Amino acid sequence: MKGLLLSGLFVSIGLFIGRIAGFLREAYIASKFGASEQTDLIIVFLSTPDILVNLLIGGALGMALIPEFKSLPSHHSQALYKQVFMLLLVVFTLLAGIGAFYSPQILKLFAPGITELSIHTYSKYFSLTFIAIPLTVAAGVTTAYLHSSNKFFIASLGTLIFNLTVIASLYVSSYFHNENLLLIISFGICIAAFCRWLSQGLNSRVMPFTLLRISNNLVTNDLLRRYLYCVLTGGIIFLVPVIARAIGSQAGAGELSLINYAIKLVEFPLGVLLTVFSIVFFPLFSELYAKKDEQEFLKIFKNVLLTVVIISIAVFIPLSHFSSAIAHLIYDWGQLSQEQLEKITNYLGLVSLTLPFQGVNALLIAVLAARKDTKSPLIWSSFLVIVFIIIGYGFISEVSSVFSLMIGVYSALSFILLMILVFQHKMSFLNHQDFLVALLKVLTLSLIYHFLLVQINFTQAVWLEISFATISAIVFLLISTLMCRNQISNIRIRKKS
């Protein structure tokens, strides 16, 4: 268990540093360029590899490949890694070429509010960012292989390497204007994707480039099916904020940027504190399921789920209450007006409510994938996203309503996935009194926490509000941990015989 906790710490550190770099990236864009059609274009350019990072490196490839890597001898795992690497590199290189050809249509899809003139002018530079697609896939395969070998730290630095390279390209591009600015950013994205993969490839110490030998093919139909389900599930869920941005872009130039600035503030704690559990515990869940050790599986799942709930509540309540101070701290450095900062504040207060559900969903999808059930999350996430698109484009006219719809989609998915585990997978954790009592304690404490913050009306300096928010979150974490210490401390892993 100590090894897993240490791995979790390494992943958290790597993700934390990478997310800090992401903050600097967004803050730099906001301070240097503000919120305009130009920043909308910059963000859409950056979103192309970002979507793939969350889709592939964020878990889809890992969910499909790690159980296979774990079940094979070392030399067969390396052979599978090489075969998957080459197969996906070829497939996604072809897909990237198709995407580049249709770059105007894709740019219009991501940001329907951008003018036709801008799409015609800049789509050729947008097409260059598709070079990053096969490089991102390569990083995704290598990350899965590293995680299966319990090498988490270098893989967790991928976001940092990518963001630092992008920040450097943004700095260089700030000395140029119009077309040259976006051209430099496009090249910067491709270089960033290459540097991220190279760092992970060197850490794996395996040369992935090889000729596919069909006679010794380890890429089975079952593996391809589970990979496809995982990719679609992860991608569909990640499309929710992307769709929200696209809907919001129709409200005017710069609106896409403001929505993106708010969403990034929530993605930081989500990536650093919550999704780390699905990354670190997924190999263990896969191993326990393969051994048919349902008792240990259930015990660890209950306590990890309780931990995710505690941490998410400790973060989202102060994030919601102190959204103005947080927005001003991160973005009030240059080109944004007070009206735009106020919009970011309002958006952040709403989107922060999705944090607990996103954290729980990441864990539940990983647990189901470890049990080799990737079809159920795919079906229900697809259904909910379709509902989101229909209602979002057909019945919503205000941006704030889009965030309310996001909350409904994420919460509905959490409930459905929990019910799938209970009724379809016969995981009767809801019948365990210790778990329910601990959960009730946490929820009761969260209501008290929320009530106390509502009574406090801060009009002080931003740093004072941020400090109070941080201290209150730490206090909530400590009290919750003490109240549930018996349940959380029960996360034990039996020694291998």
Q: Give 173-209 pLDDT, tens digit per residue.
A: 878 766 688 899 999 999 999 998 999 888 888 888 7
Give the tokens for residue 157: 């630095």
Which of 131-145, 157-171, 320-334, 400-414 is predicted most confidently?
400-414
Element (H, E) at 425: none
User: Burial, 337: exposed, middle or buried (Cβ in 10 Å; 0-12, 13-18, 19+)?
Assistant: exposed
The pair phi, psi for residue 72, each rounded to 5°, is -110, 155
Give the tokens for residue 326: 């947080």
| Dist CA 280 CA 219 (whole Å) | 24
DSSP string, 96-113: HHHHHHTHHHHHHHH-TT
State residue 192's pLDDT score.
92
Percent of the chain scoring above 70 in pLDDT: 87
State residue 404's pLDDT score.
92
- pLDDT over 60 (residue 1): no
- In tens, the pLDDT along 413-430 reads 999 999 999 889 988 777
- In tens, the pLDDT along 31-89 reads 888 888 889 999 989 877 666 555 554 456 666 777 778 777 777 888 888 888 888 88
- Where does residue 114 fall: left (phi above 0), alpha (psi -120 to 50 degrees), or beta otherwise? beta
Once rounded to an integer, what is the mean pLDDT over residues 312-317? Answer: 92
- pLDDT over 60 (residue 214): no
State residue 282's pLDDT score.
80
| Dist CA 361 CA 389 (whole Å) | 20
- pLDDT over 90 (residue 348): yes
| Dist CA 368 CA 167 (whole Å) | 37
Higher pLDDT, 234 or 400: 400
313 band by pLDDT with thresholds 50, 70 and 90: very high
State residue 34's pLDDT score.
87
- pLDDT over 90 (residue 344): yes
- pLDDT over 80 (residue 457): no
Q: What is the average pLDDT value for the chain, to the nearest integer?
A: 83
Higher pLDDT, 252 or 8: 252
Once rounded to an integer, what is the mean pLDDT over residues 129-151? Answer: 84
- In tens, the pLDDT along 350-394 reads 999 999 999 999 899 889 988 888 788 888 988 999 999 999 888
The H-assigned helical ranges of 53-102 are: 61-71, 74-101
- In tens, the pLDDT along 17-28 reads 887 888 788 888
Radius of gyration of the chain, Cα coordinates, nearest whole angstrom: 22
Least Cα distance to 331 among 340, 322, 318 occurs for 340
State residue 258's pLDDT score.
92
User: Burial, 17: exposed, middle or buried (Cβ in 10 Å; 0-12, 13-18, 19+)?
Assistant: middle
DSSP string, 137-167: HHHHHHHHHHHHTT--HHHHTHHHHHHHHHH
Least Cα distance to 347 among 289, 283, 260, 427 occurs for 260
231 band by pLDDT with thresholds 50, 70 and 90: low
Q: Give the CA count within 13 Å in the CB-facing half-sphere of 177.
A: 0
